[in-house]
Amino acid sequence: MERRAVVVVLRTIAVSLLALLLTWLALPSPIGSLAWIPSPAPALDGAYRTNEALVSAERLYAGSVSGPEDIAFDKDGHAWSGLRDGRIVRLENNGAVTEVLNTGGRPLGLEHGPDGALYVADARRGLLRIDLKDPKVEVLVAEAEGVGFHCLNDLEIARDGTIYFSDSSAVWGIDQFTEDVLDQRPSGRVLKYDPIARGEPLVLARDLAFANGLALSADESQLFIAETGRYRLWRLWLSGDKRNLKEVVTENLPGFPDNLQITPRGTIWVALYATRKRLLDWIHPYPFLKDATASLPNWLRPETPRWGFVIEIDANGVPLRSLQDPSGEHIPHVSAAKEHDGLLWLGSLEGNHLSRLAL
Query: Phi/psi at 222 (nearest 5 deg)?
Result: -135, 145
C-alpha closest to that of 230 among 281, 195, 166, 292: 281
Q: Percent of the chain, pLDDT > 90?
A: 89
pLDDT score recorded for residue 300: 84
Domains within the chain, CATH numbers bracketed: 46-358 (2.120.10.30)
Query: Phi/psi at 88 (nearest 5 deg)?
Result: -105, 125
pTM for this one?
0.93
76-79's contacts with Cβ under 8 Å and 24+ in sequence apart are: 77/340, 77/341, 79/340, 79/345, 79/354
Whether 198 and 212 have beta carbons less than 8 Å apart is answered as no
pLDDT score recorded for residue 301: 85
Helix, strand, coil shares, percent, the chain, to 5: 15, 40, 45
Tens digits of per-residue pLDDT, 89-110? Answer: 999 999 999 999 999 999 999 9
**In the predicted structure, residue 207 carries a pLDDT above the cut 60:** yes
pLDDT score recorded for residue 22: 42
Dist. CA 337–CA 215, nearest whole Å: 12
pLDDT score recorded for residue 298: 85
Dist. CA 292–CA 28, nearest whole Å: 8
Q: If you average pLDDT over residues 33-39, what whole number do you get? A: 98
Whether 118 and 107 have beta carbons less than 8 Å apart is answered as no
Q: What DSSP designation does 167 have?
A: E
| Lowest-pLDDT range of 5-14, 211-220, 252-261 | 5-14
Dist. CA 51–CA 190, nearest whole Å: 34
> How many other CB atoms are found less than 10 A from the CB of residue 188?
27
Confidence band (pLDDT; 50, 70, 90) for 302?
confident
Q: If you average pLDDT over residues 232-250, what whole number do you get? A: 97
Q: If you average pLDDT over residues 208-221, what whole number do you get? A: 98
Q: How far is CA 248 from CA 229, 235, 245, 252, 262, in A?
A: 14, 6, 10, 11, 17
Q: If you average pLDDT over residues 53-71, what whole number do you get? A: 97
pLDDT score recorded for residue 13: 57
Whether 201 and 193 have beta carbons less than 8 Å apart is answered as yes
List CB contacts of 27: < 8 A, sequence separation 6 or more: 292, 295
Confidence band (pLDDT; 50, 70, 90) for 303?
confident
Tens digits of per-residue pLDDT, 155-177? Answer: 999 999 999 999 999 999 999 99
Dist. CA 111–CA 86, nearest whole Å: 16
The larger pLDDT score, comparing residue 1 to residue 101, is at: 101
Q: If you average pLDDT over residues 346-350, what whole number do you get? A: 96
What's the mean per-residue pLDDT of the chain? 93
Q: If you average pLDDT over residues 39-56, what whole number do you get? A: 98
Tens digits of per-residue pLDDT, 260-288? Answer: 999 999 999 999 999 999 999 999 999 99
Confidence band (pLDDT; 50, 70, 90) for 4?
low
pLDDT score recorded for residue 24: 46
Tens digits of per-residue pLDDT, 113-158? Answer: 999 999 999 999 999 999 999 999 999 999 999 999 999 999 999 9
> How many other CB atoms are found less than 10 A from the CB of residue 2?
6
Q: Percent of the chain, pLDDT > 70?
A: 92
pLDDT score recorded for residue 42: 98
**In the predicted structure, residue 216 carries a pLDDT above the cut 90:** yes
pLDDT score recorded for residue 262: 98
